[in-house]
Amino acid sequence: MRIKITADSTCDLPADLARQLDVHIFPLYVVMDGAARRDGVEITARDIFDHVAAGGKLGNTAAVNVGDYLEQFRAFRAEYDAVIHFTISQTMSACFQNANIAAAELDNIYVVDSKNLSVGISLLVLDACRMAREGQSPEEIVSALEAKREKLDMSFVIDTLDYLKAGGRCSPLVALGANLLSLKPCVELKGGQMDVGKKYRGAIEKVILKYLADRLADVESVDLTRVFFVKSCGFKEEFLAEARQEVMRLCPFAELIDAEAGCTISNHCGPKTLGIAFYRK
């Protein structure tokens, strides 16, 4: 059985890896100055940051629409026996709802709510690709990954709350207080929702090293198969190399995949955001 794996651009799967695995990425939209641009196709995270730095207004993000899904699902069903599509958590976007509306028009389209975002979704996508290559059925793949998504550990640290404030996801008072105190919150994904965990204080580079030590402290509970290392623009490469080395020193993962935060994530979290995603046992 030929199965096509697809995902929304919120998964932040590196483009070269998506091409290698033949994973189709549906771009969300970034609406800026009245124009809707496709995430990673017509606009990049760097474009967003440069626009804001120059005094421009932060844009909004919009879900993949039903028409986009239906057109591509129909094309894939003409070539493949089934399609398995992964979306960002349905509590954060209409992507899951829209994909299901499109899927209802066809047969053998399976839409999976990742209950996650960014590279947390990519972990599920890579497992789906492997299981499809092994000859497992769409039902087996979906069932296994809906169970495995509960073991995902996805978190990230934000340098500034200014972008969350501009997007209406954080009050100006909270953002001001956090910035004055140099607080850097760790945001965790729990049950499909974003939750604020530990609040760190200090320069973001020092905070990230503390954050990594905290997230990877319980080595015995970590599935060492793979870790995703994701960041937005703004860090010096020397620091990123140090941070990657620290991840591997703390936990000897068999594979570390480096990823860039796309427009959707960057638009909400801003520059100098860094996170990791892996499975717990």
Same domain, 133 and 251: no
Same domain? For 19 and 73 the reply is yes
Residues 28, 9 contacting (CB under 8 angstroms):
yes
In DSSP terms, 61 is beta-bridged to 30
Mean pLDDT to the nearest integer, 254-265: 95
11-20, 56-65, 247-256, range with the lowest pLDDT: 56-65
Which CATH number belongs to the domain containing residue 159 in this structure? 3.30.1180.10
* φ and ψ of 136, to 5 deg: -75, 155
- For the ranges 84-88, 108-112, 155-159, the lowest mean pLDDT is seen at 155-159
- Domain of 263 in residue numbering reads as 152-279
pLDDT beyond 70 at 269: yes
- What's the whole-model pTM score? 0.93
pLDDT at position 182 is 66
Give me the amino acid identity at 48.
I
pLDDT tens-digit series, residues 190-223: 889 888 888 898 899 999 999 999 999 999 999 9
The alpha carbon dihedral of 116, 30, 5, 255 has a sign of: negative
Q: What is the pLDDT of residue 58?
A: 83
What is the spatial distance between Cα 176 and Cα 119, in angstroms, rounded to a whole number?
Answer: 29
Which residues is 154 bridged to in the sheet? 277
Residues 136 and 176 in one domain: no
Q: Are 192 and 268 contained in the same domain?
A: yes
DSSP E strands in the chain: the ranges are 3-8, 24-26, 29-32, 35-38, 60-62, 82-87, 109-113, 152-157, 183-190, 193-201, 227-231, 256-260, 274-279
Task: Return the CATH number at 62.
Answer: 3.40.50.10170
Shared-domain flag, residues 51 and 157: no
Question: Which of 102, 127, 148 is the last residue before a domain boundary?
Answer: 148
The enclosing H or E element of 248 equals helix 237-250
Nearest to 9 by CA among 105, 125, 109: 125
Pair (50, 120) in one structural domain: yes
pLDDT number for residue 59: 86
Distance CA 261, CA 12 (A): 6
Which of 118, 148, 178 is the endpoint of a domain? 148
Q: What local confidence, expressed as pLDDT, does residue 193 receive?
A: 86
Average pLDDT over residues 77-87: 98
SS3 212: helix
Tokens linked to 46: 């760097």
Is it the case that residue 114 has pLDDT exceeding 70? yes
pLDDT tens-digit series, residues 152-197: 999 999 997 766 655 444 434 344 344 544 678 898 898 898 888 8
Residue 154: predicted pLDDT: 96
The 10s digit of each residue's pLDDT in 3-29 is 999 999 999 999 999 999 999 999 999
pLDDT at site 169: 46
For residues 9 and 144, state if they share a domain. yes
Whether 7 and 120 map to the same domain: the answer is yes
The pLDDT, as a whole number, for residue 174 is: 40
Q: What is the mean pLDDT of residues 59-63?
A: 91
Nearest to 226 by CA among 196, 193, 259, 198: 259
Strand arrangement of the beta sheet that strand 256-260 belongs to: 193-201, 183-190, 152-157, 274-279, 227-231, 256-260
Are 162 and 255 in the same domain? yes
The confidence score (pLDDT) of residue 115 equals: 97
**Amino acid 164: pLDDT:** 61
Q: Which among 122, 148, 174 is the end of a domain?
A: 148
Q: 135 in helix, strand or coil? A: coil
Residue 178 and residue 139 share a domain: no
Q: What is the pLDDT of residue 60?
A: 87
Alpha helices in 66-181 (DSSP H): 66-77, 95-103, 119-133, 138-148, 162-166, 172-180
pLDDT of residue 264: 86
* 158 shares its domain with 41: no
Residue 75 pLDDT grade (very low, low, confident, very high; cuts 50, 70, 90):
very high
**Choice among 113-127, 159-173, 264-278 with the minimum mean pLDDT:** 159-173
CA distances from 148 to 119, 145, 250, 279, 281 (A): 15, 5, 23, 8, 10
Are both 89 and 131 inside the same structural domain?
yes
Q: Would residue 182 be called left, alpha or beta, if left means φ above 0 and alpha means ψ between -120 and 50 degrees?
A: left
How many domains does the chain divide into?
2
